[in-house]
Amino acid sequence: MSNIKTYAFIFARGGSKGLKNKNLFSIGGKPLIAHSIEAAKNNKKIHKVFVSSDSNEIKNVSIEYGAEVIDRPKNLALDKTPEWLAWQHSVKYLKKKNEDFDVFLSLPSTSPLRSQLDINNLLNAFNKNVDAIISVTPSSRNPAFNMVKIDKKGMVNLIEKNKKVTRRQDAPKYFDITTVGYVTRPNFILSKKNLFSGKVKSIIVPKERAIDIDDLTDAYIAEFLYERSKYFKK
């Protein structure tokens, strides 16, 4: 195992608006959060797995699946609280316990279809020349071709007007940020206000593994893809 110490983190607050008790919603016969915990524990590059939560139910389920828990203060689990603050809290918490580590890997519970290949690609792409690695997937919509904005009069216009673009194939490539994973350093988290405060690169994840569960429709799609995941290359 590498001398680089990598800790995985899953941030799962109790309150969720789009899908009630989202982090415990069952996908493939197990709680959503269990997929991220198991993915981390099954990766040889990851030394420890932590779940940060304000919910006792989520913490109990996380312990059941083998994660260590961090008690997240209620003021860091509000709807409008940036998750970055919870990241900072977790790093500070471990520093107080003299838990030194090199790589911070966030594996949100909302992406149960990520593969070990995706996790390894994230970690392998991380080096001294970048501050963070994110995961992206090709966007199905394009602001220069089939995305519009509506003005105060109800008129619509393309978000990006480009006379050279008359076909989707001619439009610049755009990507959606996924919640498959994020990699950075603990000191970067403590010294910056957000992930894009530094040099950020990405890995590309195929659409079938990039589902991000936010509501019931997403959950149904994820369940459908999960049951058919054996047909996808991993």
Identify whether 233 is part of a domain.
no
Exposure string of 109-131, with b = 16+ CB inside 10 Å and e = fewer, is bbbbbbbeebbebbbeebeeebb
Structural domain contains residue 231: no
Instruction: Tell me: pLDDT of 234 over 60.
Output: no
195 within a domain of the structure (yes/no) = yes
Q: 85 with 115, same domain?
A: yes
User: CA 157, CA 149: separation in Å to the nearest integer?
Assistant: 6
Average pLDDT over residues 121-132: 97
Give which of 208, 214, 203 is closest to 140, Cα–Cα: 208
Establish if 24 belongs to a structural domain: yes
| Residues 103, 79 share a domain | yes
State the CATH number of the domain containing residue 97: 3.90.550.10
Same domain, 29 and 78: yes
Indicate whether 122 belongs to any domain: yes
Q: Is 135 exposed, middle or buried (0-12, 13-18, 19+ CB in 10 A)?
A: buried
Would 1 be classed as within a structural domain? no
Q: What is the pLDDT of residues 135-160, one digit of tens each?
A: 999 988 777 777 788 888 898 887 77
Evaluate whether 119 touches 189 at the Cβ level (below 8 Å).
Answer: no
Please state, in angstroms and rounded to a whole number, the distance separating the CA atoms of residues 6 and 25: 28
The CA distance from 10 to 105, in Å, is 9
Q: Higher-confidence residue: 8 or 228? A: 8
- pLDDT over threshold 80, residue 2: no
Q: Which of 21-25, 47-51, 82-86, 225-229 has the lowest mean pLDDT?
A: 225-229
Shared-domain flag, residues 126 and 46:
yes
Instruction: Say if residues 135 and 181 touch (Cβ distance below 8 Å).
Output: yes
Tell how far CA 168 is from the center of its chain.
28
Looking from the CA of 140 toward its CB, the CA atoms found within 13 Å total: 5
Q: Based on the structure, what is the number of domains in the chain? A: 2
Residue 63 sits in the same domain as residue 124: yes
* Averaged pLDDT of the chain: 90
CA torsion through residues 96, 97, 98, 101, sign: negative
The reply to whether 83 and 128 lie within a common domain is yes
C-alpha–C-alpha distance, residues 157 and 137, integer Å: 25
- Is the per-residue pLDDT at 232 higher than 80? no
Residue 64 lies in a domain: yes
Full domain range(s) for residue 146: 140-173
Q: Does 147 share its domain with 55?
A: no
**Confidence band of 1 (pLDDT split at 50, 70, 90):** very low
Averaged pLDDT, 50-59: 96
